[in-house]
Amino acid sequence: MAQPKGTVVLAYSGGLDTSCILVWLKEEGYTVIAYLANIGQKEDFEAARKKALALGAKKVYIEDISREFVEEFIWPAVQANALYEDRYLLGTALARPCIARRLVQIAQQERAQYVAHGATGKGNDQVRFELTCYALCPNIKVVAPWRLPKFYQRFPGRRELMDYAKKHGISVPVTPQTPWSMDENLMHISYEAGILENPKNQAPPGLYTKTRDPATSPDTPDVLEIEFERGVPVKVTNARDGASRCEALELFVYLNEIAGKHGVGRIDIVENRFVGMKSRGFWHSPEGEFLRQCIRRSQEGVTGTVRLSVFKGQVYILGRESPRSLYNEELVSMNVQGDYEPADATGFININSLRLKEYHRLQSKVTLKQDE
């Protein structure tokens, strides 16, 4: 056993990586405190607690932070209409700063010098975790095993990690037949690694646990009315049975249930990474705070109701209304002139065509010179 190195708070999931990392950290001389955040994943949390303690954790924190995840992270993303690659709703990206914020708080509470995570050295999560930690506690030290040569040279692949788990009696849900990595929370479930690393491979049907296959989804749509205040959903009502939800977490979970029943939300993308290209991790940063303030200000007038149909993997907008809408039916109508003079458009068009005419004049001059 190595010399004692102090206390580390590990972001623990109970899966293959963090279970092995917990044991490895103890081998390295750390006293390990495990932190498992409940953000809506299907998990036997009591079993996870017992497992962490059996693997040698000194203490285990398991906390339900689902409500703050929705209210403080998901809703701001809804206000911003935040989409990655025009499709992905940033389920993992939003969860990480939420988890890491509490990770740091526990480290401070326990007077731990270190925090640790199981993110790989190639992906985005390492950036999200660590930038949050350093932003909130600049003196914290981060242990990232997947970036330490002594760790990744010992475990070059998941096969070696599973062998280590078997040797140390660590039960894990991952098998050589299904060697993919999974991340689940209230907002989504995502998979990567293993056979999924080859873009030509189709995802096995069994992966989809939150959404039904649209081909076998109900033949009758659910029609919902969602009321918004300042860009945030505050009430949903189902026209079919009158069911309604108002509290943020309950509302969000209910919408997930309806969407999942109809097969809404399945996507397959090739990720761009911050270590290489895109996907930012600066939630807890000056520019992040500034941007969210701007978004909140922009959403102050976004109040009203949207009526939509959820059916066969799609969401169809049926109608919308708002007491603060800038839309003026009389002004835009093809049937009513309203407070608008069509003749005014002549001057508008003339002004906008001026640069086009000048560009044409210049091009004609250049062509004449070339022909001389």
Closest CA to 98 of 20, 23, 11: 11
Active site residue 181: yes
Q: Residue 355: in which H helix or E strand, if any?
A: helix 344-371
Q: What is the separation, in whole angstroms, between the first and last Cα of the chain?
A: 88
Q: Using the CB atoms, write b or e for 15-38: b if 16+ within 10 Å.
A: bbbbbbbbbbbbebebbbbbbbbb
CB 38 within 8 A of CB 62: yes
> Among the options 19, 66, 101, 125, which is catalytic?
125
Alpha-carbon gap, residue 236 to 245, rounded angstroms: 5
CB 265 within 8 A of CB 211: yes
Instruction: Find how far residue 171's CA is from the centre of its chain.
Output: 28
> Among the options 17, 49, 190, 245, which is catalytic?
17
* 55: its two tokens: 């693997």
CB 308 within 8 A of CB 224: yes
Active site residue 213: no
Contacts of 278 (CB under 8 A, 6+ apart): 84, 272
> Among the options 13, 49, 66, 96, which is catalytic?
96
Active site residue 219: no
Alpha-carbon gap, residue 281 to 270, rounded angstroms: 18
Alpha-carbon gap, residue 203 to 196, rounded angstroms: 7
Active site residue 96: yes
User: What DSSP assignment string belongs to 147-203?
Assistant: G-HHHHTT-SSHHHHHHHHHHTT---S--TTS--EEEE-SS-EEEESGGGGSTTSPP
β pairing state of 59-64 and 30-38: parallel
> Among the options 13, 19, 66, 181, which is catalytic?
181
β pairing state of 181-184 and 30-38: unpaired
Active-site positions read 17, 96, 125, 181
